[in-house]
Structure formats: C-alpha cells, structure tokens
Homo-oligomer: A and B are copies of this chain.
C-alpha cells in the first residue's frame, strides 16, 4: 500500500474503505489509466488489506505493482467479486465519477452496504499537490501561456470562432498537451455566455473575444482565460475589463494559507458588486485543478475549507452582459507558505488584436 493510499485511509477514518474507478482517483493512487467503460474496473482499498483491483481480463495492467488483481471475463458478474471483498454492512467512499450503473449494481448485490462520494468524505484528498505535481501544473500552465502568446499573432477579424479554436487546439498540442479539453472562443455577444464554446460567428472589428482554453499535459491540467479586443475598445468595454482585472488581482492577492475558499470568492465578488456589475458575475470564482481540469477546492460561497500550501486552483471572475459582450480573466494559482503564486503569467492588459 503506497503513501497516497495510506494517507487516504487515514483520512477516511470511520469508513470501511475506498472504491476507486478509472479516472483521476485511480491515476492518483496507482498511475493506471484504463478506459472508462461499462466494464467494471475497481480498486478496493481497505485498512489492513492489500489493495485489490477488480479488472476485466482483457484490460489486465502490464505493470500491476503491488495490486492484487482479480480478473473477470465477459459474462461473469464482477459485482459479486467486489462484494466478496466488502464488509456486508460496511460503509465505503466511491469515486465521484463512478458510473451509476456500477454503483447501483453494487448496492443491489450487497444491499446492506452504504456509500458516500469521495468529495463528500475526502474532498481535499487530491487538493494539496506535492512539489512534483505543482511542477507539472506549472509546465502545463507555461504551455497554455505560450499558446496565448502565439494566438495573439494570428488574424482574428474575418475568421470564425471555430477557426481560432482550431488554432488554439493545435498550439496546445504543439506545446505538449496530449489532450485538449476546451477551446472557448466567445466573440461579441457570445462572450456573455460563460460556457459558449466556439461557433460559426465571424469575428469582426469591435468584438470583445473571450479565449478560455486548456487540457492535459503529462497528465496535469491547464486552464487559462484572456479576453482580447479586435480593434480599439469602447469606454464601457474598457471599464468592464478593468473591473474584472481588478477583481482577479484582488482575489489573487487574498490567497494565503488559512483563508477560507469562500473568502477568495467574496473578495472578487465584492469588487464586481461595488462597480455595479454583481448580477452579471454568474459563476463561482474558481475551481481546483490537477489530474482533472475541475476538482476541489472550489472557490464558492459556502466553502469554508481553508487554503493550504500546495493547493492549486483557478481564479476566474467574469462579467457577462447579455446580448452585448463578456469579459473573463483566469489564472491558475498555487498556494505557497506566504501567499499565492500564479502558474499563468501572461500580460493582464487588454490586448488589442486584428
């Protein structure tokens, strides 16, 4: 049982074990990244037992390390194999993204067992990164920064959002990303939709353009946003931009160990509210990042978790004016012993492009 497993079980006192499915939790504990499918793969961690991996016979890991493998073949019932390992009245934490298909089958085959989600029980298990992980996130951030610097040199006016999005994806890959998770190019009124992706709209002079892109490099995530303007911005565009920039900067400066997650959100929100745009900041201020691009800690109202050195998360306030335009600025920030350090550091000024 490795150190991450032991630490997780220590934190999970009161539970009889952890049930880990393919995805970031399994990568964290074992380095294994099998596909996520209807065939059950499940790591069972229990205090005082070796880790067991229930796994389809055709997906046996080449290098199982210390895992005890329990292979099953198509036509077998893998849930019964899991139940054999569980306390019939035990309580287990399950990976957040485990499929309902699998959880419900377990609940059926072992009806007295009880379950909770990893986030409900061990929300901060992966939230505090070690030095190697911070270095990987910094490298992913640097790749995203290089992508942004290069996208400033391409032509925007007269091209579609989708064409710019394709450029972003290509650049992220050129800078070492194995996976591109999102390439938002939200121009003009589309920018007022925080999760607009990229469409057929042709970008033109006078457009604000929100660029929000990221993915995975060497297994760790990038996620950065800059808002640029085609041609000279209007006074109101610049005003809104400056409010968001000030909110992002203030939230960054508020980062230090011991501050509650929700307080970072509050700092950013207050600046936007004081400027009269509070109703147009319609999402939380940030989310953790690591083996995924969205994970705890969440910088959101109600999250009382204090910041701890090694936590890594986005700070990404925005203002969205329906039918007009949007502005968002986002950096990944890691908590240090005395404050915060940005893992993105491209210029925060409003870039005027063509």
Report which A residues bind B (CB closer than 8 A).
Answer: 35, 37-38, 57-59, 62, 73-75, 94-105, 115-120, 193-195, 282-284, 294-295, 298, 300-302
Copies of this chain, complex-wide, total 2
A62 (CB) vs chain B CBs: closest residue: B193
Q: Known contacts A95-B100, A97-B101; can you find 11 more A-B pairs with CB under 8 A?
A: A35-B195, A37-B294, A57-B283, A58-B194, A74-B284, A75-B301, A96-B101, A97-B99, A100-B103, A100-B115, A105-B120
Contact of A101 among B104, B105, B117 (CB under 8 A): B117
B119 near A101 with CB under 8 A, answer yes
- Distance between Cα atoms of A105 and B115 in the complex (Å): 10
A19 (CB) vs chain B CBs: closest residue: B100
Tell me the minimal C-beta distance from A336 to chain B in angstroms. 26
Residues on B with beta carbons closer than 8 Å to the beta carbon of A283: 57-58, 73-74
- Distance between Cα atoms of A282 and B301 in the complex (Å): 51
A320 (CB) vs chain B CBs: closest residue: B58
A-B residue pairs, 9 tightest by C-beta: A75-B301, A96-B101, A74-B284, A98-B100, A58-B194, A101-B117, A94-B100, A100-B103, A104-B117
Residues on B with beta carbons closer than 8 Å to the beta carbon of A75: 284, 300-302
A-B contact pairs, 23 of them (CB 8 A): A35-B195, A38-B119, A38-B294, A38-B295, A58-B194, A58-B195, A58-B283, A74-B298, A74-B300, A94-B104, A95-B100, A96-B99, A96-B100, A96-B101, A97-B99, A98-B99, A99-B99, A100-B100, A101-B120, A103-B103, A103-B104, A104-B120, A105-B117
- Distance between Cα atoms of A300 and B76 in the complex (Å): 10
- Distance between Cα atoms of A264 and B201 in the complex (Å): 49
Tell me the minimal C-beta distance from A25 to chain B in angstroms. 11
B57 near A282 with CB under 8 A, answer yes
A58 near B282 with CB under 8 A, answer yes
B104 near A115 with CB under 8 A, answer yes
Q: Which of A38, A118, A301 has the most chain B CB atoms inside 10 A of its CB?
A: A38
Q: Which of A120, A195, A295 has the most chain B CB atoms inside 10 A of its CB?
A: A195
A284 (CB) vs chain B CBs: closest residue: B74
A73 (CB) vs chain B CBs: closest residue: B282
Tell me the minimal C-beta distance from A27 to chain B in angstroms. 15
- Distance between Cα atoms of A193 and B56 in the complex (Å): 12
A115 (CB) vs chain B CBs: closest residue: B104
Tell me the minimal C-beta distance from A12 to chain B in angstroms. 15
- Distance between Cα atoms of A96 and B94 in the complex (Å): 16
Residues on B with beta carbons closer than 8 Å to the beta carbon of A62: 193
Tell me the minimal C-beta distance from A163 to chain B in angstroms. 15
Residues on B with beta carbons closer than 8 Å to the beta carbon of A101: 96-97, 117-120
Residues on B with beta carbons closer than 8 Å to the beta carbon of A118: 101
- Distance between Cα atoms of A119 and B103 in the complex (Å): 13
